[in-house]
Amino acid sequence: MASRFWTAGSDSDEEEVDASEEENSSSEEESSSSSSSSSSGSDSSSDSDSDSDSDSDSDSDDSDAPKKGAARFLAGSDSDSDSDEDRRVVLKSAKDKRFSELTDTCDEIRNKMKINDWSAIQGLFDELNKRLERARKVSEAVGTPRVYVRMCVELEDFLNDTLANKDLKKKMSSTNAKALNTMRQRLKKHNTSDEFAEAVTKFRENPQEDEEEEEEEEESSSSSSESDTDGEREETEKRPAGAAKKKDKLLTMDSAEITYEMVAKKLREIVTSRGRKGTDKQEQLREIVTSRGRKGTDKQEQVEMLQFLANVAKGVPQKLEVLLQLVGSLFDLSPGISNYMKVGLWKRCMLVMLEIMDTLQANEAIVLDDSAEPSEERTAEPVAGEDGKVRVWGNLVAFVERLDDEMFKSLQVIDPHTHEYMARLRDEPVFLALSQKVHDYLARIGDVRNQPKVALRLIEHFYYKTDAVYDAMRKLTMLQQEEAAASAAAHPEGAVAAASAAAETAAAANTSNEPGEEQTADDKVALPVPLDFSMDESSTAAMKRLVGIVFTHGDERAKARAMLCTIYHKALHGDFHSARDMLLMSHLQDNVMLMDISTQILYNRSMAQLGLAAFRLGLISEAHSCLQELYGSGHIKELLAQGMAMGKFQDKTPEQELLEKRRQMPFHMHISMELLESSCLISAMLLEVPAMASSPLSVKKRVISKSFHRILDTYNRQTFTGPPETVRDHIMAATRALMRGDWSGAYGAVSALTVWQLVPQRESVLDMLKKQLKEEALRTYLFSYSAQYRSLSLDQLCTMFEMDEKAVYSIVSKMMIAEDLHGSWDQPTRTIVMHSIEATKVQSLAGQFADKATLMVELNERAYAFRTGGLRDDDDMGGGGGGRRGGRRGQDGQWEDDGGHGGRGRGRGPRLGAARMGLGQGGQDFGGHRRGGGGGGRGDRGGFRASGFSSNMTSGLPDRFQRRGPYRQQANPNMQALGSISRPGGGVGGGPGGGSYNRPLGGDRRDRGL
Amino acid sequence: MASYELSSTLARFLDKHLCFPLLEFLQDKGVYNEEDIMRAKIALLQNTNMVDFAMDIHKELYQTDEVPATMMERRTEVVNRLRSLQKAVDPIIGCLSNSNVIRNFRHDRAFNLQFLKEEFDIGPEQIEALYQFAKFQFDCGNYSMASELLQAYKPLCTTSERNMSVQWGKLAADTLTQNYEAATEALLRLRESLDNQSFATPLMQLQQRTWLMHWSLHVFWNTENGKNALIDLFLQPAYMSAITINAQHLLRYLAAAVVVNRKRRNVLRELIKVIQQESYEYSDPITQFLECLFVHYDFDGAQQKLIECESVIEHDYFLTAIKSEFLESARLFIFETYCRIHQCINIDMLSERLNMDKEAAEKWIANLILSARLNAKIDSKAGTVVMGMQSSSMQESLAEKAKQLSVRTFTLANAVVGAPATKA
């Protein structure tokens, strides 16, 4: 227990003083009730204090309060003895007041020293002297208060420094310089005057010992008074002078501090002679708990105190309480939400947490519970409840979450290309172990409310890990465990002792607060992975187990997140179909816009991963629809939180920027941007090139991927095309080749991309790409050049595209059936015979005319149908059928809303026949018809949909989901995708007309999207 | 073939009693070990009241005259229950058998109850007993009686849930008595109530739709127009989604129905799409056949699948009846599709494809041509079939368009002005 507290040098403390001074001001405003409860058993004193306070408030500095009490500051040996009752001695507020006035002034002087304001120092120095006089009057005793002496010494030193610093001197304003000179003279005179000279020299000789002595003295004589120690004074009594009102609470505080300090000393004795003063500890702990939230207390000091207490605590429950408080205090040490917790500190927290868990594991009767009564109200040992359980107040989950957050934050900030980052990542197993322990513990005590929270945290550590990474993590864990075991064997004290030793090292390193030493602190703190922790064999198993828990007990957000993580994980492992089913079933795409931003980011990440999975499996159109919106938005970096957008169009306020920074994913969780781009563009290419070839001149060609077209246009406009460099270049080169039907050229360009190295199944992906490219090249070739042939031999096509006969046959047949290719097979000769029909000018004009006339009739029909509802005759069978299908489709928007009635309403359609479709449906019906049959089957699934998931969610992992989406996509990609898979943006408001281009990131960015 | 055998899957969605015919069928076919099936039967019967039957099977299975005590106990239990129920329902049955009473019933259930109460002093207990009795009879395998009782009970039941149970019971009873006409009607009613029920959770609805589809197999495959009705039902959006979510294996029956039913070719595309979607979840030779034929245009593959189909169908309780029909239609399917993309086909090759000898194939094609279902000519010298070119010239298509325009305009004009017929 080499507490900094005892050895506190005057210099190092100053920074802290500074910091805590600001805090002080607010802390004073706390209600007096809390202060009274905080005072350690010295109720009477605190009461009287507050009474006198109300007096002194009015008359402020110049109060005529009794003066005799001040003596206690100086000698303090007269009245106090070792016992507890001593602390109850009513302190005379007047002497305290005098004393604190002195200290205040000293502090102020120090402040001024910092800003080099000599004129102010001069004034304050005068005041200080005046106060000293007054204090002397009050305190009867003779002697100079240490504070004062110390101030003098400091002032002198500072003066000399300033004088030595010529530059500074020159910069000073004239008044300041004048004041400096005055001060020099006065101080010289002052310090050499016999009144002080001795004290000063004595102080100079041996400031440390001096304090020690005084501590000793204090110990023997006890009582609150000896808080004379400089460091303590600074910590406890700083506050702006003149804020008289605050004085009293400070006093209470003061006494509180002193009490526990004192008790700590006693506790130190207790270490040797156990068994005394259980209640003291209790009181002390209570005190720390209450003062924790307050700003006036020194956190560092508290931590040490707690650490010490933890070692000497009596009884397991109390130890737990102390430890829990310790974790809390450790958290308090870190500087707020914008910065991350220092790694050393974090590790210390982890150690304490592990200790807590060990304790809990060892003592099954103890139940941590945040609903149990806080320890404040208890004075005696907590008694076992009726069920034989001891309830201790504490919230492990909050700690785990906080630790996780801090780790996340640190990973965000640390440069990913450094060793530091790697080292940080190595801490993950320990965290996992801790979470697992907490999780198991919660499971044991049956806390289903909190269990999912921890499970979710664990899930979020697992979901993005590929098998390789997961295995590596497992190995690392085992390795660390071995090391820990080895070191535990080496140190006979056992692992716990080693841990606490490590913690102390960390503490020592940490207190220095110097960034330079941070590194060494990290090295010193070895975080042993608990030996009883083992990771699941596969990440899939781990995920399944945890997700099950979240689904059974979690709240909506946890469920959604767990679901997204599962989707991501499944997609990552190539299980595209079930990942997609989960996504569609959960209807996450419908309401993701309503969720918090981090969930939206997770959604986008899952979407991206889903797209990549589809791509790897060769499901090109699915991959495209997953990735297109993400990529096409042009904000993919922001959407995935993998980098800040270089704002071209918008100026973000600093706050927004800060928020965005806080959302960023740590590097090791990133999805390769380049891979995403390649996958997206290649999918677009494979879809787009044959489509362009099939209708080269058509004006109304449906655009599959706008961004692809844009890039292609730019590429085509280039006057000079160099060899491909970027991803885009490569793919554009491939596109060019593919448009000529040159598959090998296209493959060459595509396979030259470096990103394929990032794909684990590189070979299979490239094979898939080759196959796809061949097929699409064949289609493109036939589209483009079939008109030039009268007949084409199957064998020739096979050799041209290096495909087997069956595949070519299948593709060509498909094109024939779809009437993309006007021709037919001649079986005996194995050739394709083209029947190209060329229209004459008149014919094509007539055709156009007929089309227009048809359009007009259709419009008329629609107008009529709109009024009366339905026109077509039953005998128009094809139309009827199409109408029925289309009708269903047209109503999709409606189904989305009333899924419950969907079945019934739709059920009516076919039986009544298209002609009697209800009023109002007519229009839609018609529209659907014109869009051409097709995807009826698709949208129909909606009937069940609106109602779908909630029930499923509750029943654990449902095996099968409601789905819609991608099918419709396939059927008719240019339909507005009604909340289908193609909308990574989340399809809120995704009614058919709601073309709102939702971006997944809400808030500030949402409005831009609209 | 057992891998494509669906009984175990189907059984999950069927009533105990409805499973029974399946087991009988399997026993006949000898796909599984006979003893296993008998044991399965006993297990099935254990929870019904057909104790005697279970005993018989038990005796047959173990070749003994001994029956386990549990069965005997169960028997006495059943008999006792029968007695007590009988006693409870006697008054109401007596009353309901009076046709005058029935005549006095109205649509209003509350009124009916009131009426019974006043006239015959029959309270809710008796009515409840009636229901229980019907259930009991059904469990005893006395299906026709159960059906009648349920019919009688129907106007008296008050809650909609009970009403659903009655309908399910009616459907099962009618199916098992092979009264398919009544069963079809019951099915239709049940379906309506399923679609109309607003209280059920989506999950329940899904479940019930799935059940309905499974139960309906019994009805549809045994009635005249059943295949049509099956296609209609299964292609209903709500039911289709139930299939894709819950029971992909039903696609087999849908596919078979579509193949067999020539008039319903128009739903083929829809079906193919679903089959493709679900192919990663479920596929069997029948769906694969369609996939080969209409997705990959792999005629050899389709041929292969067709052979597999044969044995699958043979071992399927529902499909076995339509085996030859299916094969014939499937063959025609192959041929038609083949012809659509070919202009010249070798008859030798074709006969091979069709599993016929050359002579028969030529005859078959000639028949097709004769019946004007195929626009082609046989070139017997070269041994080929030459397709007539259906290439419509530009002119024709223009004329077609114009004709269509005039028809549509005429209809529109009629609609707006009012048809002459209605004026007159």
Q: pLDDT per residue over A90-105, tens digit each?
A: 444 566 677 777 777 7
> CA–CA separation, A380 vs A280, rounded Å?
10
pLDDT of A953 higher than 50: no
Q: What is the mean pLDDT of residues A221-234?
A: 38
More confident residue, B395 or A33: B395
Tokens of B272: 């193919």
Single-letter residue type at A808: V
- Which site among A809, A895, A940, A964 would you substitute to test the B interface, given the most B Cβ atoms closer than 10 Å to its Cβ? A940
CATH number for the segment(s) B343-408: 1.10.10.10
> CA–CA separation, A99 vs A214, rounded Å?
17
More confident residue, B357 or A684: A684
As a whole-number percent, the residues of chain A with pLDDT over 90 amount to 6
Q: Output the CA torsion sign for A240, A241, A246, A250.
A: positive
Of the partner residues B196, B344, B408, the one whose CB lies closest to the CB of residue A861: B408
More confident residue, B111 or A610: A610
Cβ–Cβ gap B297/A904 under 8 Å? no
Residue B390's pLDDT is 58
Which of A375-379, A480-484, B139-143, B296-300 bottoms out in mean pLDDT, i.e. has the lowest? A375-379
Q: What is the mean pLDDT of residues B21-29?
A: 85
Residue A281's pLDDT is 54
The answer to whether A67 and A139 are in contact (CB under 8 A) is: yes
CA distance between the termini of chain B: 67
Q: pLDDT per residue over A127-139, tens digit each?
A: 777 777 777 766 5
Q: Which of A335-344, A767-776, A888-897 has the highest mean pLDDT?
A: A767-776
Q: Which of B350, B319, B321 is closest to B337 using CA atoms? A: B350
pLDDT of A742 higher than 50: yes
Residue B28's pLDDT is 84
Residue A633's pLDDT is 77
Cβ–Cβ gap A864/B398 under 8 Å? no
Tokens of A796: 């020739």
More confident residue, A291 or B87: B87
Tokens of B226: 């059943």
Residue B398 forms contact with A (CB below 8 Å):
yes
Which of A50-59, A528-537, B300-309 bottoms out in mean pLDDT, i.e. has the lowest? A50-59
Residues of chain A in contact with residue B199, where contact means CB-CB under 8 angstroms, are none
pLDDT of A53 higher than 70: no
As a whole-number percent, the residues of chain B with pLDDT over 90 amount to 2
* SS3 letters across A750-775: HHCCHHHHHCCCHHHHHHHHHHHHHH
**A-proximal residues of B, 203-242, CB under 8 Å:** 203, 205-206, 209, 232, 235-242
pLDDT of A857 higher than 50: yes
Residue A198's pLDDT is 66
Residue B374 forms contact with A (CB below 8 Å):
no
> CA–CA separation, A603 vs A595, rounded Å?
10
Cβ–Cβ gap B402/A850 under 8 Å? yes
pLDDT band at A527 (very low <50, low <70, confident <90, very high): low
Q: What is the mean pLDDT of residues A976-991?
A: 34
**Residues contacting B277, CB < 8 A, separation 6+:** A967, B244
The answer to whether A326 and A301 are in contact (CB under 8 A) is: no
**Residues contacting A109, CB < 8 A, separation 6+:** A121, A124, A125, A128, A151, A155
With vertex at residue A320, the alpha carbon angle to CA A316 and CA A323, rounded to the nearest 5 degrees, is: 135
Q: Which of A381-385, A434-438, A974-978 has the highest mean pLDDT?
A: A434-438
**Residues contacting A447, CB < 8 A, separation 6+:** none
Query: Directed axis angle between helix A706-717 and helix A727-739, to 10°?
Result: 90
Pairing between strand A831-834 and A823-826?
antiparallel
Cβ–Cβ gap A824/B343 under 8 Å? yes
Residue A516's pLDDT is 36
Residue A888 forms contact with B (CB below 8 Å):
yes
More confident residue, A418 or A19: A418
Residue A942 forms contact with B (CB below 8 Å):
yes
- Chain centre to alpha carbon of residue B339: 32
Domain residue ranges of chain B, discontinuous segments joined by +: 224-341, 343-408
Q: For residue B286, what is the enclosing H or E element?
A: helix B285-291
Q: Which of A119-123, B42-46, B90-94 has the highest mean pLDDT?
A: B42-46
Maximum Cα–Cα distance for chain B, whole Å? 90
> CA–CA separation, A437 vs A399, rounded Å?
13
One DSSP character per residue, A786-845 reads GGG-SEEEHHHHHHHHT--HHHHHHHHHHHHHTTSS-EEEETTTTEEEE------HHHHH
Q: pLDDT per residue over B352-374, tens digit each?
A: 777 778 888 888 888 888 876 67
pLDDT of A602 higher than 80: yes
> CA–CA separation, B94 vs B87, rounded Å?
11
- Which site among B190, B264, B270 would you substitute to test the A interface, given the most A Cβ atoms closer than 10 Å to its Cβ? B270
pLDDT band at A734 (very low <50, low <70, confident <90, very high): very high
Q: What share of chain B is helix, strand, coil (3-state, %, to 5)?
A: 75, 5, 20
Angstrom distances, CA of residue B194 to CA of A165, A219, A904, B147, B208: 94, 85, 9, 20, 8
More confident residue, A932 or A301: A301
More confident residue, B262 or A312: B262
3-state secondary structure of A392: strand
The answer to whether A718 and A672 are in contact (CB under 8 A) is: no
Residue A778's pLDDT is 92
Residues of chain A in contact with residue B409, where contact means CB-CB under 8 angstroms, are 857
**B-proximal residues of A, 74-103, CB under 8 Å:** none
3-state secondary structure of A368: strand
Residue A568's pLDDT is 93
Single-letter residue type at A254: D
Residues of chain B in contact with residue A847, where contact means CB-CB under 8 angstroms, are 394, 397-398, 401
Q: Which of A470-479, A956-965, B95-104 has the highest mean pLDDT?
A: A470-479
The answer to whether A983 and A587 are in contact (CB under 8 A) is: no
Maximum Cα–Cα distance for chain A, whole Å? 128
Residue A884 forms contact with B (CB below 8 Å):
no
Q: pLDDT per residue over A941-951, tens digit each?
A: 333 332 233 33
**Residues contacting A871, CB < 8 A, separation 6+:** A861, A864, A865, A915, A922, B411, B412, B415
Tokens of B170: 């009616």
Q: How many C-beta neighbours within 10 Å does residue B123 have?
A: 13
Cβ–Cβ gap B341/A824 under 8 Å? yes
Single-letter residue type at A514: E
Residue A171's pLDDT is 67
**Residues contacting B19, CB < 8 A, separation 6+:** B7, B10, B11, B44
Residue A959 forms contact with B (CB below 8 Å):
no
pLDDT band at A1000 (very low <50, low <70, confident <90, very high): very low
Q: How many C-beta neighbours within 10 Å does residue A855 have?
A: 11
> CA–CA separation, B390 vs B374, rounded Å?
11
Tokens 């070191």 sit at which residue? A487
Nearest CA in chain A to B404: A854
Q: Which of A171, A961, A999 is closest to A581 using CA atoms? A: A961
Q: What is the mean pLDDT of residues A175-184?
A: 76
- For chain A, the average pLDDT equals 65
Nearest CA in chain A to B295: A814
pLDDT of A934 higher than 50: no
Q: pLDDT per residue over A622-678, tens digit each?
A: 899 888 888 877 778 888 888 776 655 566 677 777 777 778 888 888 888 889 989
Residue A476's pLDDT is 84
pLDDT band at B301 (very low <50, low <70, confident <90, very high): confident
pLDDT of A41 higher than 70: no
Cβ–Cβ gap B346/A828 under 8 Å? yes
Residue A404's pLDDT is 87
Distance from CA of A943 to the nearest CA of B (A): 6
Single-letter residue type at A260: Y
Cβ–Cβ gap B240/A910 under 8 Å? no
Of the partner residues B203, B236, B280, the one whose CB lies closest to the CB of residue A577: B280
Instruction: Compute φ and ψ for B232, nearest 5 degrees.
Output: -60, -50
**Rg (alpha carbons) of chain A, rounded to whole number:** 39
Q: pLDDT per residue over B181-209, tens digit each?
A: 888 888 888 888 888 877 778 888 888 88
Residue B1's pLDDT is 46
pLDDT band at A288 (very low <50, low <70, confident <90, very high): low
**B-proximal residues of A, 383-402, CB under 8 Å:** none
Residue A647's pLDDT is 56
Distance from CA of B122 to the nearest CA of A (A): 37
Q: Which of A388-392, A481-485, A916-920 has the highest mean pLDDT?
A: A481-485
Distance from CA of B232 to the nearest CA of A (A): 8
Residue A201 forms contact with B (CB below 8 Å):
no
Tokens 């069920």 sit at which residue? A387
Residues of chain B in contact with residue A936, where contact means CB-CB under 8 angstroms, are 270
Tokens of A186: 């006065």
> CA–CA separation, A425 vs A469, rounded Å?
12
**Residues contacting A81, CB < 8 A, separation 6+:** A221, A222
As a whole-number percent, the residues of chain A with pLDDT over 70 amount to 52
Count how many pairs of residues, chain A against chain B, have C-beta atoms within 8 Å.
159
Q: How many C-beta neighbours within 10 Å does residue A434 have?
A: 27
> CA–CA separation, A374 vs A369, rounded Å?
10
A128 dihedral zone (left: phi>0; alpha: psi -120 to 50; beta)? alpha
Q: Which of A158-172, A939-953, B33-47 has the highest mean pLDDT?
A: B33-47
The answer to whether A53 and A96 are in contact (CB under 8 A) is: no
Q: Which of A444-448, A490-494, B303-307 has the highest mean pLDDT?
A: B303-307
